[in-house]
Chains A and B, each alone.
Chain A
Amino acid sequence: MEFFLISLLNGVTYGLLLFMLSSGLTLIFSMMGVLNFAHASFYMLGAYFAFQISGHIGFWPALVLAPLGVAVIGMAVERYGLRTVHKHGHVAELLFTFGLAYLIEEAVHLIWGRAPVNYGVPKDLDGTLFMIYGTAFPIYRGFMMLVSVLMLVALYVVLTRTRIGLVIQAALTHPETVEALGHNVPRVFMLVFGGGAALAGLAGVIGGNAFVTSPGMALHVGAIVFVVVVIGGMGSLAGAFIASLLIGLLQTFSVALDWSLGGLFKPMGISFAADSFLGELWNLTLASAAPVLPYLLMVLVLLFRPRGLLGTRDT
């Protein structure tokens, strides 16, 4: 029970963080048809910006300023990069974002070095929020949850209750028609790209100190975010939300379980020695297979439901 509750809380926190990243990615994809390979780089920039800013004026200003900074970079990338490359088709756009991801990583190497930086949890939020059956739940985990939920509500309100949100929703499926009605769709694209980058940046601010802030973080989380978007269905926010929680829970639970295939047969009195045929496989625990599970799930989804859980396109 104790294990279940703690894992549930951790899984949901991680899942919400994944959603913060994948929501922007999936919005950008459905509007512009661009799978942004540099999206996780915005997450990394958010963490590094927050590290730098909090070193000077503290964590709380960084929580606001770092995502804003990332948003400005995102908008500039769309306005002066993607919009120009767009004429040459989707492959060129894809390559552009791919190159951008490397550029950002190298820039991070140059400025902050190759080793992880010491971006820690702020003092105000260090400590234990509550205990469950003797296990501590840190304040910072609770804070991450709070920020994620607030972001979720804000995103929902903007998309469904404001005029710009309606324009975005309409442009998700019919950008040309929206433009012919007199809406400045290129500007909407830029804002969505900036907004998506800001969300990724925010995830970096609150995730960077909970995990590790290093030049490898973009690559690490980027792969998982793509898995989330594919499983949820390209271009579906609701799908991304479900898939984020699913992956979050899957990863959190699986690392803590030592179930193995061989274990299934134990009650029947069959056991597999490590040196028997395929012994390694029978005794492989779920915990050691954990990193592969999201990708396995993605492959299964692609095989049996290529559109993803709630996706609308077949791309």
Chain B
Amino acid sequence: MLEVRDLHAFYGKSHILHGVNLTVGDGECVSLLGRNGVGRSTTIKAVMGMVDAQGSVKFKGEEICGLKAYRIAHKGLGYVPENRDIFPTLTVRQNLALGMKGTKESGRWSMDDMFRLFPRLQEREHTQAGVLSGGEQQMLTLCRTLMGDPDLVMIDEPTEGLAPKIVELLRELFVEITRRGVSILLVEQKLAIALEISQRLYVMGHGQIVFEGTPAELRANAAIRKEWLEV
């Protein structure tokens, strides 16, 4: 589905990614772990065409590195920003509508699906999104991207700062996403969730991938966890 080879990215003059390699298979859930500032967010932004990048990004076999973000979105890649970038002046329903690529609901997800998964969003359907709680905003950003029917969705730090109850809701949504045949590339801080829902994990350090393996392999590798993950 997604194949990233030797990806370099720059913010101005600073070199953030030093040749990142990773793959995500069809229907697979893959997590990208690491401490803050090692380039996890930059990696998925670079894949999405939101920062200047060099290297190769193949999506469904097609080279997309260098394309504009909106073109990449139309190829079937979805991106959920970490800072819960809801559109504050629009209502919940309008936010969801802007997630759709056209004016008709099509593909795997409908607005009713979202409301069934998160009844809270339906209750606040006509509320301005800016007044939602942090957890509700996170649900909304996720649902908004899903409305565009991506084949692979990249999610940046979805559980950060959320109450355990909401984290559990999100975990159920991730399971539902893969059940509908959508791949996930998850940037996550909470090791427990990543280990539980992912088939494979990558650990990043200093702009490179320093570990690749299954949850069992990461559990067994205390040295990697100690050097790159634990604070």
With a CB–CB cut-off of 8 A, which chain B residues contact A180? Answer: 48, 50, 69-70, 73, 79, 81
Which of B69, B81, B89, B99 is packed against the most chain A CB atoms within 10 Å?
A: B69
Contact between chains at B50 and A163 (CB < 8 Å): no
- Given A180-B50, A181-B145, decide whether A169 and B89 contact each other with a Cβ distance below 8 A: yes
The yes or no answer to B68 lying at the interface (CB within 8 A) is yes
The yes or no answer to A64 lying at the interface (CB within 8 A) is no
Contact between chains at A170 and B69 (CB < 8 Å): no
Which B-chain residue is minimally distant from A167 (CB atoms)?
A: B98
With a CB–CB cut-off of 8 A, which chain A residues contact B50? Answer: 176, 179-180
Minimum Cβ distance to chain A for residue B57 (Å):
15
The yes or no answer to A104 lying at the interface (CB within 8 A) is no
Q: Tell me the B177-208 residues at the A interface (CB within 8 Å).
A: none
The yes or no answer to A267 lying at the interface (CB within 8 A) is no
With a CB–CB cut-off of 8 A, which chain B residues contact A170? Answer: 87, 90, 98
Interface Cβ pair total, 8 Å cutoff: 56
Complex alpha-carbon distance, A176 and B90, angstroms? 17
Q: Which of A46-54, A135-143, A183-191 sits within the interface? A: A183-191
Q: Tell me the B83-140 residues at the A interface (CB within 8 Å).
A: 85, 87-90, 94, 97-99, 101, 103
Contact between chains at A182 and B148 (CB < 8 Å): yes
Contact between chains at B98 and A173 (CB < 8 Å): no
With a CB–CB cut-off of 8 A, which chain B residues contact A173? Answer: 87-89
With a CB–CB cut-off of 8 A, which chain B residues contact A176? Answer: 50, 69, 81, 85
How many of chain A's residues touch chain B, expressed as a range? Answer: 10 to 19
Complex alpha-carbon distance, A176 and B81, angstroms? 10
The yes or no answer to A177 lying at the interface (CB within 8 A) is yes
Contact between chains at B70 and A177 (CB < 8 Å): no
Contact between chains at B101 and A182 (CB < 8 Å): yes
The yes or no answer to B74 lying at the interface (CB within 8 A) is yes
How many of chain B's residues touch chain A, expressed as a range? Answer: 20 to 34
Contact between chains at B99 and A166 (CB < 8 Å): no
The yes or no answer to A174 lying at the interface (CB within 8 A) is yes
- Given A174-B85, A176-B50, A176-B69, decide whether A181 and B90 contact each other with a Cβ distance below 8 A: no
Minimum Cβ distance to chain B for residue A310 (Å):
12
Which of A166, A170, A178, A182 is packed against the most chain B CB atoms within 10 Å?
A: A182
Complex alpha-carbon distance, A18 and B98, angstroms? 32
One of A169, A181, A185 near B144 (C-beta < 8 A): A181
Contact between chains at A181 and B48 (CB < 8 Å): no
Which B-chain residue is minimally distant from A174 (CB atoms)?
A: B85
With a CB–CB cut-off of 8 A, which chain A residues contact B148? Answer: 181-182
Minimum Cβ distance to chain A for residue B174 (Å):
19
With a CB–CB cut-off of 8 A, which chain A residues contact B81? Answer: 176-177, 180
Complex alpha-carbon distance, A181 and B49, angstroms? 12
Which B-chain residue is minimally distant from A185 (CB atoms)?
A: B70
Which B-chain residue is minimally distant from A177 (CB atoms)?
A: B85
Which A-chain residue is minimally distant from B99 (CB atoms)?
A: A181
Minimum Cβ distance to chain A for residue B100 (Å):
9
Minimum Cβ distance to chain B for residue A170 (Å):
4
With a CB–CB cut-off of 8 A, which chain B residues contact A185? Answer: 70
With a CB–CB cut-off of 8 A, which chain A residues contact B69? Answer: 176, 179-180
Minimum Cβ distance to chain A for residue B45 (Å):
9
One of B85, B87, B103 near A169 (C-beta < 8 A): B87
Complex alpha-carbon distance, A183 and B98, angstroms? 9
With a CB–CB cut-off of 8 A, which chain B residues contact A174? Answer: 85, 87
29 pairs across A/B with beta carbons < 8 Å? A163-B103, A166-B90, A169-B90, A170-B90, A173-B88, A174-B85, A174-B87, A176-B50, A176-B85, A177-B85, A178-B87, A178-B98, A179-B50, A179-B70, A179-B73, A180-B50, A180-B70, A180-B73, A180-B79, A181-B98, A181-B145, A181-B148, A182-B70, A182-B73, A182-B101, A183-B70, A184-B70, A185-B70, A186-B68
By Cβ-Cβ distance, the 4 closest A-B pairs, closest first, are A182-B73, A170-B87, A177-B85, A179-B69
| Known contacts A180-B48, A180-B81; 6 further A-B pairs (Cβ under 8 A) | A170-B90, A176-B85, A178-B98, A180-B73, A181-B99, A182-B101
